Each structure stands twice: as C-alpha cells, then as structure tokens.
C-alpha cells in the first residue's frame, strides 16, 4: 500500500502504476490525477445506447460546475474495449459528445491491466462474461487525496446532483487547507 505523508496528495491508488493512454496518445501519469477530485467511469465507443447516455449525464454535470471548480476536477472515462478503442477512436467519441476538454480524458488501457482494474472496482457483474457490453454503469468519485468517496450506479443519476457533490467535495477540501 502506498503511504502518504500528511499533506501529500496523489491520484486514486487503484489507478497508480497503470499505463493509461488518453485520446491524444499521451500517457496519463499520477501527476495528472493528483490533487484533483477524480470522476471515473467506464465506457466503450461502439456502445449504441447506454455509454452515450452516461457520457451525456457526465457532460451535463461537468457543464454545471463553475469554471473555478472545473480546475480542481479530472473526469476520466476508461474504455472497456481496448481492442477497438485506441486514442483516435476515443478522440472522435469525445468530440462527438462535446467532452474534449483538458479536464476530461478518455483512456485506453491494455487488456491485462483492464482485467485487474475491473476486478478491483467490480466493473463487471460477478459471473458475467467480461465483454464491453456487460460492464457496469458505475461512476466513481475520488477526493483530492485519491480516496474513494462515492460510487453511483446507473444512468438515472441526475447531473445536477453529481455536480453538487463534486462542488461540495472541492469546497470541503479547499476549506480544510485553510
């Protein structure tokens, strides 16, 4: 387990040591996720319905954040279809869904690492086949120290609710620094 000294910030432990590559072909390193609230979900670009709807929910939540808050948040959508979802495909998906912001990254991960991460976060139902269409619609919220704070399920999550939760977490963290 990674130990942190008081005041040190890092990204979510579950994402550390992974080779995440974003829609621009850039590696997402620990620095990109440290000292930020991280909103994580799983998706795949060939999904005909649920993933685009969930991306829209996240887009509306993102749009509901004040610009000052957006600077303290990193949205991260990780593909569960590493064979097909390479950086160029992820970039086209992000553009299509108006999610091509520097504070929202779409990531490719190799199959072996995806399997381990999916297991740790229960991305697939127990006993279900590990195929893209069987992934959960969970959204994970991590605080600026990388600690898991919330796991939302389904596409019924209200974007305004998620935005309020993110703003509250950023405000709480900022006030605790004072």
SS3 40: strand
Retrieve residue 89's tokens. Answer: 């495909």
Domains of the chain with CATH codes: 13-177 (3.40.30.10)
| pLDDT in the model for residue 30 | 81
pTM above 0.75, yes or no: yes
Phi, psi of 7 (to 5 degrees): 90, -15
Q: Contact at 8 Å (CB) between 162 and 152?
A: yes
Give the side-chain half-sphere CA count within 13 A for 68: 5
Identify the band that residue 11 occupies on the pLDDT scale cut at 50, 70 and 90.
Answer: confident
Query: How far is it, in rounded angstroms, from Cα 121 to Cα 31?
Result: 21
CA distance 10 to 16: 9
Rounded mean pLDDT of the chain?
A: 87
- For the stretch 155-176, pLDDT in tens is 678 999 999 999 999 988 666 6
Whose CA is closest to 163, among 178, 134, 141? 141
**Average pLDDT, stretch 18-28?**
94
Query: What is the reported pLDDT for 9?
Result: 55
What is 95-141 written as a DSSP string? HHTT---TTEEEEE--HHHHHHHHHHHT-B-TTS---GGGB---EEE
What is the average per-residue pLDDT within 95-119?
90
% of the chain residues with pLDDT over 90: 58
């Amino acid at each position: 387990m990674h130990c942190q000294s008081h005041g040190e910030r890092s990204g979510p432990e579950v994402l550390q040591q992974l080779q995440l590559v974003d829609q621009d072909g850039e590696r997402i390193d620990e620095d990109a996720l440290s000292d930020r609230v991280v909103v994580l979900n799983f998706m795949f670009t060939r999904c005909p319905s649920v993933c685009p709807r969930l991306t829209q929910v996240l887009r509306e939540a993102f749009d509901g954040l004040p610009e000052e808050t957006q600077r303290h948040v990193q949205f991260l959508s990780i593909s569960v279809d590493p064979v097909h979802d390479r950086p160029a495909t992820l970039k086209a998906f992000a553009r299509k869904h108006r999610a091509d912001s520097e504070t929202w990254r779409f990531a490719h991960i190799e199959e072996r690492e995806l399997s381990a991460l999916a297991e740790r976060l229960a991305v697939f139902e127990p006993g279900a086949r590990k195929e893209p269409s069987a992934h959960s619609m969970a959204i994970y919220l991590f605080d600026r120290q990388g600690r898991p704070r919330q796991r939302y399920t389904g596409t019924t999550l209200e974007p305004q609710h998620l935005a309020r939760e993110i703003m509250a977490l950023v405000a709480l963290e900022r006030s605790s620094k004072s």
